[in-house]
Structure 1
């Protein structure tokens, strides 16, 4: 087995612009992360538009194409002031319009699936790893990803494989972190999560 084959593929997605987020901090941080070299890891990055229908098609396709060891979706939240590790996602209640002014049918993510899916990755452990790493960024754990595209994309991935799906909210750029500081935090998040899988 070659060294390349031994490496673990980690898919990290960020979102495109929406609303007041004309530059989406999630995609900036993910692009910075994509410049990093993490030993034993191949980082695949992908920008996803803030569109329910696209998420529904593109996310399962990425799982199929890449067969990743870990999938982390990253989104921006104006409420966040730290790297926010989401433990679970919801199936219903998607009434907020995406950038194409559409909602999913029945305001639902996956017809017939349970209402809430919880990642088997222990986010409290990831949180303490990030906070103990000596980095400038701090992390917190959340149980409500917000019933928008973030929550929606997370549910799609959890429905595929909850043992290796994660979602991370980042604050807007400069509030208080730079894209590079957020990427440093995401690198630590990846290392911690991979140690659990």
Structure 2
């Protein structure tokens, strides 16, 4: 049976919750299907997140890893294409660290790409009536850091998905999804990965800027 590891992050930047972990934890709790889903909560820490990720992989021996994080300024679920080899923090992490222009791996590749079928996932989300797109930048904070580390691990299908702020964080933003919608979106994404075989959809996912 295929084992899928989902990760989300603890709260940061003064927020009381992090929707990435809320959605992951709830999906794993409610999941029923032909695969085993397990979850791990990662610290918002440049030093600690990799250790927590690697410990979860060592514990669960997953076939697929889908890491998630919060992109509060985005609309919809964004499926990341590429991680870049740099930490450049606009705000401190939860340990107070704020690296600027520091390589994640001194001798690492400039970039590493998702091995998930990113366009298939986006198409499945659209088919479920959910707002979603391919993202070509995972930022330069801890999300990108974890994504870059993850894509350097052999033998896994893996990638990163950003979720938007929910109504709990977005206040009076009428367009913000609730947690139930995020859970539904992650379920669709997982099911799309599990059902996918062969090459990804050859459809445009690019942007002009």
TM-score band, normalised by the shorter chain? 0.7 to 0.9
Q: What value does the CA root-mean-square deviation take over the aligned residues?
A: 1.9
Q: Which residue of structure 2 aligns with residue 172 of structure 1?
A: 165
**Mapping of residues 127-142 of structure 1, within 5 Å:** 127-133=122-128, 135=129, 137-142=130-135
Give the secondary-structure state (helix, strand or coil) at the position aligned to 1:107: coil
1:1-46 CA-to-partner distances (Å, cap 9, x unmatched) read xxxxxx2111111111111422111111112212222311111111
Equivalenced residue count is 189
Q: Which residue of structure 2 aligns with residue 67 of structure 1?
A: 61
Question: Contact 2:84–2:111 (CA<8 Å) still a contact in 1?
Answer: yes
Q: Which residue of structure 1 aligns with residue 147 of structure 2?
A: 154
Cα distance change on mapping 1:41 and 1:104 into 2, 3 Å: farther
* Distance in 1 separating the partners of 2:183 and 2:139: 22
1:126-176 CA-to-partner distances (Å, cap 9, x unmatched) read 10111113x4x3211101011001111111110114851111111111252
* Distance in 2 separating the partners of 1:65 and 1:170: 26
Structure 2, unmatched stretches of 5+, are 168-174, 198-209
Q: Which residue of structure 1 aligns with residue 138 of structure 2?
A: 145
Give the secondary-structure state (helix, strand or coil) at the position aligned to 1:56: helix
More helix, by proportion: 1
Q: Which residue of structure 1 aligns with residue 190 of structure 2?
A: 190
Which consecutive segments of 4 or more residues in structure 1 shift more than 4 A? 103-106
